[in-house]
A = this chain, B = another copy of it.
C-alpha cells in the first residue's frame, strides 16, 4: 500500500500543449498530441443558438440531457443522473458523500482520484489488490482502467459494493472510457440499490473535452445531494446542446465504436512493427510497456509526437489514437527514426 501524503498537490496530466512546448522546444509544430485518451474524431460541430450563450441554461433542457444520458448509459431513470461541468469537478463532491475515513484506490490509475479523496478529508492510499478494497470507507476503481485497460467484472464489483454498503461505505466506479466497452461490465444499471456512484465522461468518447460535461449515476437521493452542491445552471449552454444531440445519436456512437476499434488495431500493428510491445489499453488509448519507455517518449517528443509518460513508472507509456492521415504518417516516421537509432546502437554494442 502506497500512502499518498502529497496527494493534494497538483497532478501532472496529458493534453497540455504549453507543457509540451516547454519539454520539447525544438519539436516541429503543430504537435501530434497523443498524450490523452480523447477521441480525435469529435462529434460533428454545429452552430449553437445564440441563446445557448446568452441565456441562463433552462431547467427543462437539463432534464432532456439527464433523460438521454440515463437512456444511453443504461441508468434506471433520469433521477439517477447528476450532470456536472466535467467529471473532474465531481470527484471531491463524490468523495465527500462519505464522512472522512479510509479511501482506497485500485492503482495504478488516474491520479486525481487520490487527490480528490484527500481533499475530502480521507486518508487516501492506492492498493494493487482488488480484494483489499473491501476494507475501505470509500473504494475507487477506474473501469476499464486508465492507463492499462484492466477490466473488473460487474459481478465482482457488485459483490464489493455489497460489502462496502453493509458498513456504510461507498463504491465509486469511474467509467470514463466505458463508452468503448466492455459495456456489459458497467454498473450504470445497478446504482439505484445504493452505495454505488458511477462516473461517466462526455468529452472523451465524443472528442469534446473542452465543453466540460460529466455525469454521476447514483441512487436518486445521492443524485439530489450532488445536485444541491452544484446548484442550478451547473451545465453550460454549449455543453447542454452538444450533450443532448450527441448522446441521442446512437448511430454515430455505434459507427465511432467500430472506427476506434479499427484505429486501435492499426496503432497496435504500427507499434508492433517497430518492436514496441502493447500491453493493454482501450480503443481510445493504448498502453505500452518497454524498458526504454523514457527514451521512446523523448525521441517522439522531439519529433513533435506526444505520448503520455508517468513520472513514477518509467517503463510504461500511454498513446492516444492519431486522427488525420498526416498524424499517422508523423507517428510512423518518428517511430522509424527511433527504432533505427535503437538498432544502430545495438549493433555498436555487439561489435
Residues of A within 8 A of B (CB): 8, 10-11, 13, 15-19, 33, 36, 38, 42, 45, 50-60, 85-86, 88-89, 91-92, 112, 115-116, 119, 203, 207-212, 228-239, 242
A318: min CB distance to chain B, Å? 15
Kindly provide the distance from the CB of A268 to the nearest chain B CB, expressed in whole angstroms: 24
Q: Chain B: which residue is nearest A96 at the CB level?
A: B96
Q: Contacts A53-B42, A58-B17, A207-B54 hold; do A212 and B232 have CB atoms under 8 A apart? A: no
A36–B54 Cα distance when bound, in Å, is 12
CB distance from A285 to the nearest CB of B (A): 14
Residues on the B chain within 8 Å of A238, using CB = 53, 210-211, 236, 238
Which are the 3 A-B pairs with shortest beta-carbon distances? A210-B237, A18-B60, A212-B236
Kindly state the separation between the CA atoms of A112 and B16 in the bound complex, as whole angstroms: 35
A260 to chain B, nearest CB (A): 15
CA distance A11 to B228 in the complex (A): 10
Residues in chain B near residue A56, CB distance under 8 A:
13, 15-16, 36, 38, 203, 209-210
Instruction: Report yes or no: A10 in contact with B232, Cβ–Cβ below 8 A.
Output: yes
User: Which residues on the B side are within 8 Å of A57 (C-beta)?
Assistant: 210, 212
Do the beta carbons of A8 and B228 come within 8 Å of each other? yes
In the complex, besides A17-B58, A54-B209, A89-B234, 13 extra interface pairs with C-beta distance below 8 angstroms are: A18-B58, A18-B60, A38-B54, A38-B56, A42-B50, A45-B50, A55-B210, A86-B234, A115-B231, A119-B228, A212-B235, A212-B236, A238-B238
25 contacts between A and B (CB under 8 A): A16-B58, A18-B58, A18-B59, A18-B60, A36-B56, A38-B54, A38-B56, A42-B53, A53-B208, A53-B210, A53-B242, A55-B210, A57-B210, A86-B234, A88-B231, A89-B89, A89-B230, A89-B231, A91-B231, A112-B231, A119-B229, A210-B237, A210-B238, A211-B237, A212-B236
The residue on B at minimum CB distance from A230 is B89
Q: Which residues of B contact A60 (CB under 8 A)?
A: 16, 18
Known contacts A50-B45, A53-B208, A238-B210; is-contact A233 B88 (Cβ 8 Å): yes
Q: How far is the CB of A139 from chain B (nearest CB, A)?
A: 20
Cβ B53 vs Cβ A116 within 8 A: no
Of residues A38, A209, A231, A239, which shows the largest number of chain B Cβ atoms within 10 Å of its Cβ? A231
Complex-state Cα separation, A230 to B119, whole angstroms? 10
Q: Shortest beta-carbon distance, A6 to chain B, in Å? A: 13
**Residues from chain B with Cβ under 8 Å of A55 in the complex:** 15, 33, 38, 209-210
Complex-state Cα separation, A332 to B209, whole angstroms: 45
| Bound Cα distance from A86 to B8, whole angstroms | 24
Q: Is B232 a contact of A13 with CB atoms below 8 Å? A: yes
Most buried by B among A13, A116, A212: A212
Tell me the nearest residue of chain B to A234, going by C-beta.
B89
Residues of B within 8 Å of A208, CB to CB, are 53-54
- Complex Cα distance, B18 from A175, in Å, reads 33
For A36, the chain B residues whose CB sits under 8 A away are 56
- Residue of chain B at shortest CB distance from A36: B56
CB distance from A230 to the nearest CB of B (A): 6
